[in-house]
Amino acid sequence: MQHDHSYDGEVGQGEVIDSVSSPPPVSQPRGLLTEDLAAIAVAVILLVACCLAVRSNQSEPAADSSASVTYENSLKPWLGMPAEWQGNPLQALGGPSELTRVVGAGVILWIVFALGAGAIGRNIGRVAMAFPIVFLLATLAYVIAENAVVSAYSLEYALWAIIVGLLISNTIGTPRWLRAGVMTEFYIKTGLVIMGAEVLFNKLLALSEKGIVVSWLVTPTVLVATFWFGQRVLRMKSASLNMVISADMSVCGVSAAIATAAACKAKKEELSLAISMSLMFTVAMMVVMPPIIRLLGLSEAVGGAWMGGTIDSTGAVAAAGALLGDEAEKVAIAVKMIQNILIGVVAFFVALYWVTYVEKNPDDRPNIGEVWRRFPKFVLGFVLASIVFSIIYSFPSGDGYVNAVVKGASKSIRGWRFCLAFVSIDLDT
């Protein structure tokens, strides 16, 4: 059974700053595009390709009904992840279809990232040589995550990707030639823009007023309260680490952590730590919350809303909701997806707060130009993708078309990009 790994990026104009102890980066001449703009451009090209690959099939109308239209994506046989396995890890890639999908995803991303790297000033040849190894490491993380026992505990690919990167960087070390393929920010930014196609505003209407309150009022309240607690009570030395952890746990997990890290210029080590903490608590809460909800006698709708607003990963939210019931699963997923819409809003206000209070220059008044400089531009691509696909979804048969785009192709691409990013975070640390 293939699982929905939803993860739910990073900095410069949204760029995560390297720590002093980080290895020297590969030199990068100035490219045609900034990394944020290149990420948006690459994501748009891939989403357009996913849309163009959709084919419609119209069934013959029955005597008492009209003809129905179904959609399928011709890229689906060429894009995918390793399969679930038991006993022998080769089973994950043993079937012809699984191997074809993994290799197909690798080839497509290889070409796209090599060209995208050239646009931001990297050496295309070096990237083309290093990328296959980074992709193999990401594949290893996916294979581990798809083990039946590991999967049952929802120890998802992000955790294993981080561990794989850490093992290499802290044992044999990351070879200099491999660093050309370590493009953490570029991978994550592109993945987040593609993720926008999965975050539909139409879901907001399905939640009614109570769901909107849970998603859009409680979430920022928890974010502010958590950050205040970290600064005033725990007295954390790093405000950026505090903010990334606060956004991670209050908004929507890894995706919010990435966008917030970009806005407050967090270090890569801080982002990696926040993600690791999030994954550990996600596993624990996914197991513990359903029985607690039953013990308290809460309804499935209330319990689902609670889990959707509390558990970080969309995949873990779905799994925990399913343990409680069908209604709980639907409500939990809906709440989590509505929280995802807040990513751009949170990134903007974090950038504004940082300019106004945390890194305020006493000689200058904070201005909108500084906020714009700090704001992660790739988030605009995320919002644009969300708006466009929400509009498409609202048309007759639009839901089937969007599902064919997302489930047939774009979700696989987005998953691989996040996995590549999580491997790269610690290869570069």
Highest mean pLDDT: which range of 76-85, 249-258, 316-325: 76-85
pLDDT of residue 16: 40
**Which has more confidence, 188 or 107?**
107
Joined together, the tokens standing for residue 40 give 């948006």
CB proximity list for 410: less than 8 A, separation 6 or greater: 46, 47, 50, 194, 197, 198
Inter-residue contact 251 to 339 (CB < 8 Å): yes
Residue 344 or 313, more confident? 344
Cβ atoms of residues 263 and 374 within 8 Å:
yes
186 within a domain of the structure (yes/no): yes
- 14 in a domain, yes or no? no
For the chain, what is the radius of gyration of the CA atoms?
21
- The lowest-confidence range among 186-200, 203-217, 239-253, 326-340 is 203-217
Residue 77's domain spans which residues? 35-58+73-427
Q: Tell me the C-alpha to C-alpha distance, in Å, between residue 72 and each of 45, 404, 408.
A: 19, 5, 7
Q: Are 374 and 237 in contact, with CB atoms under 8 Å apart? A: no
Residues in contact with 96: Cβ distance below 8 Å, sequence separation at least 6, in sequence order: none
Mean pLDDT of 351-361: 83
CB 82 within 8 A of CB 95: no
pTM: 0.76
Name every residue whose Cβ is closer than 8 Å to that of residue 345 and which is 6 or more positions away in sequence.
none
CA dist 188 and 418 (Å) reads 6
Rounded to the nearest 10 degrees, the angle between the axes of helix 343-353 and helix 378-394 is 150
pLDDT of residue 384: 93
pLDDT at 405 over 90: yes
Contact 264, 243 (CB under 8 A): yes
User: Per the domain annotation, does 109 fall within a domain?
Assistant: yes
The closest of 366, 347, 348, 346 to 358, measured between CA atoms, is: 366
| Mean pLDDT of the region 337-343 | 80
DSSP structure class, residue 361: -
User: If pLDDT is split at 50, 70 and 90, which confidence band does 45 have?
Assistant: very high
Does 278 fall in a domain? yes
Buried b (16+ CB within 10 A) or exposed e, 189-202: bbbbbbbbbbbbbe
Are 240 and 367 in contact by the 8 Å Cβ rule? The answer is no
Does residue 102 sit within a domain?
yes
CA dist 312 and 245 (Å) reads 11
The C-alpha atoms of residue 42 and residue 51 are separated, in whole angstroms, by 14
Residue 198 one-letter amino acid: E
Could you give phi then psi for residue 71, rounded to 5 degrees? -125, 145
- More confident site: 219 or 106: 106
pLDDT band at 208 (very low <50, low <70, confident <90, very high): low
User: Does the CA dihedral 383-385-391-395 come out positive or negative?
Assistant: negative
According to the model, what pLDDT value does residue 55 have? 92
Residue 135 within a domain: yes
- What residues contact residue 318 under an 8 Å CB cut-off, 6+ apart? 4, 329, 332, 333
Instruction: Work out the mean pLDDT of the chain and round it to a whole number.
Output: 82
Q: DSSP 3-state assignment of 240?
A: helix
H/E segment holding residue 338: helix 326-341
Check residues 376 and 29 and name the one with the higher pLDDT.
376
Of the candidates 85, 51, 98, which has an alpha carbon nearest to the alpha carbon of residue 71?
A: 51
Structural domain count, the chain: 1
Query: Quick check: is 387 in a domain?
Result: yes
In a domain, 283, yes or no: yes
The alpha carbon dihedral of 421, 165, 125, 106 has a sign of negative
The answer to whether 186 and 409 are in contact (CB under 8 A) is no
